[in-house]
């Protein structure tokens, strides 16, 4: 996303362009963080009963050539899972907000409209 935005939009002529570029770099870092958290939840096995007393058991199975087969298990709090969901939703809204406020496309006079 960052490369496409930098290629398509004239960041150098935007007012406060350094802050836009810094914001874009930070946004991309948070997107990767949200992806890692999402993958942690989606690609795990969940051992029931689910959310008994507000907790759930997560199991991660990995098979690596160097380390072999391993199983890790941890108890997760429902509040932590909700925090992950909130964070991902927040990042989605930030991406939409950033897209809606991009400077004009290089060579165009009008800003991008959704």
- What secondary structure letter does DSSP report for 112? P
Question: Structural domain tally of the chain?
Answer: 1
Q: What is the pLDDT of residues 17-29, one digit of tens each?
A: 567 778 888 899 9
Question: Does a structural domain hold residue 114?
Answer: no
Question: Does a structural domain hold residue 10?
Answer: yes
Question: Does a structural domain hold residue 106?
Answer: no
Q: What is the pLDDT of residues 39-97, one digit of tens each?
A: 999 999 888 777 778 888 899 888 888 888 888 899 888 899 999 999 999 999 999 98
Provide the pLDDT for residue 38: 94
pTM as predicted: 0.71
Residue numbers of the domain that contains 65: 2-100
Contacting residues for 112 by C-beta, under 8 A, at least 6 apart: 99, 102, 104, 105
Question: Does a structural domain hold residue 107?
Answer: no
Question: Does a structural domain hold residue 105?
Answer: no
């Amino acid at each position: 996303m960052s490369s496409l935005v930098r290629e398509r939009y004239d960041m150098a002529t935007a007012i406060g362009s350094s802050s836009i570029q810094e914001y874009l770099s930070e946004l991309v870092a948070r997107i990767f963080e949200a992806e890692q958290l999402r993958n942690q939840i989606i690609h795990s096995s969940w051992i029931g009963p689910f959310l008994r007393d507000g907790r759930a058991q997560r199991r991660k199975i990995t098979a690596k050539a160097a380390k072999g087969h391993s199983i890790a298990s941890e108890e997760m709090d429902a509040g932590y899972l909700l925090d992950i969901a909130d964070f991902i939703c927040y990042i989605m809204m930030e991406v939409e907000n950033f897209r809606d406020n991009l400077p004009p496309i290089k060579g165009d006079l009008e800003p991008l409209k959704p």
